[in-house]
């Protein structure tokens, strides 16, 4: 398959494919001559993965590059590779400037994770992200105590343990495992986010509008 066919099948313009090749998101095609290269279905699949992470997951190109680098580095073990891929999904940390409020929030997070008994590296970027989120909640005047957070932690662990780890083919090829992990995190994460908004709308409708409005909505719905 040449670049024009890759473009036609994926819907991605040729200059954009060239850009992804340059940026290392997409591996080079197999050179068949000085001005010709051959691309396969793996390239098409990778291209769809890139677009999914960009458009649905809104990941920056740099994060996607980190993910594919983790996949292509054959030296690392599967768990390390999954960790690298996972850490690439984190938001870039912002400087917290030795703030003592921040330190307190970070300690709160560390204590919470310890109490949950989760096997999470002390260097996991999620710890900082969570601390930042708690600090922001507090500054907005919302409590964010353990009782508010635990339901979220429990929901996350339930989904991870009962549904998500089973999706990942640990015994298959390493690239399939890491791709499944990333897709699962990003796309099902998106689905969860949308379900949450829909659930809010539904509950808000039940609490705030008269019963006949439900009937109307349900009627329009069908």
Partner DNA sequence: GGTGCGTGGATAGCGCAACTATCCAGTAGC
Partner DNA sequence: GCTACTGGATAGTTGCGCTATCCACGCACC
* Orientation of helix 174-183 relative to helix 78-88, angle to 10°: 30
Of DNA, a copy of itself, none, which one does residue 102 interact with (CB within 5 to 8 Å by kind)? Answer: none
Q: Which of 66, 17, 56 is nearest to 37 (CA)?
A: 17
Nearer residue to a copy of itself within complex by CB, 29 or 135: 135
Residues 17-36 that bind DNA (CB under 7 A): 18-19, 21-22, 28-29, 31-36
Output the smallest distance, CB 10 to a copy of itself, in A: 10
**CA–centroid distance for 205 within its chain:** 30
Q: Which stretch binds DNA (CB under 7 A): 11-19, 78-86, 148-156, 162-170?
A: 11-19
How many residues touch DNA under the rule CB under 7 A: the total is 26
Q: Torsion angle, CA of 63/64/69/70, rounded to 10 degrees? A: 80
Question: DSSP H helical segments within the chain, as ranges?
Answer: 3-10, 14-23, 41-51, 61-72, 78-88, 100-116, 125-139, 146-159, 174-183, 189-208, 211-221
Of DNA, a copy of itself, none, which one does residue 42 interact with (CB within 5 to 8 Å by kind)? Answer: none
Nearer residue to DNA within complex by CB, 10 or 168: 10
Residues 98-117 that bind a copy of itself (CB under 8 A): 110, 113-114
Each residue of 205-214: b (16+ CB within 10 Å) or e? eeeeeeeeee
Among 13, 93, 169, 172, binds DNA (CB under 7 A): 13
Residues 16-35 that bind a copy of itself (CB under 8 A): none
Residues 50, 25: contact at Cβ < 8 Å? Answer: yes
Output the smallest distance, CB 205 to DNA, in A: 30
Q: Which residues bind DNA (CB under 7 A)?
A: 2-5, 13-16, 18-19, 21-22, 28-29, 31-37, 39, 54, 60-62
């Amino acid at each position: 398959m040449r670049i024009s066919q890759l473009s036609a099948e994926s819907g991605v313009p040729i200059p954009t494919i060239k850009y992804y090749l340059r940026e290392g998101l997409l591996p080079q095609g197999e050179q068949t001559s000085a001005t010709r290269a051959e691309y396969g279905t793996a390239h098409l699949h990778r291209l769809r993965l890139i677009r999914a992470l960009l458009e649905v997951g809104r990941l920056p190109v740099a994060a996607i590059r980190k993910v594919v680098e983790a996949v292509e580095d054959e030296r690392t073990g599967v768990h390390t590779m999954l960790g690298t891929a996972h850490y690439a999904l984190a938001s870039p940390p912002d400087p917290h400037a030795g703030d003592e409020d921040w330190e307190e929030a970070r300690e709160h997070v560390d204590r919470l994770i310890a109490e949950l008994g989760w096997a999470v590296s002390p260097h996991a970027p999620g710890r900082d992200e969570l601390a930042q989120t708690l600090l922001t909640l507090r500054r907005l005047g919302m409590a964010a105590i353990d009782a508010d957070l635990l339901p979220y932690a429990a929901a996350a662990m339930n989904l991870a343990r009962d549904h998500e780890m089973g999706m990942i083919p640990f015994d298959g090829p390493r690239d399939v495992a890491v791709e499944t992990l990333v897709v699962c995190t990003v796309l099902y994460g998106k689905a969860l986010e949308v379900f949450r908004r829909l659930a809010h709308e539904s509950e808000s409708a039940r609490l705030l509008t008269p019963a006949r409005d439900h009937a109307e909505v349900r009627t329009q719905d069908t």
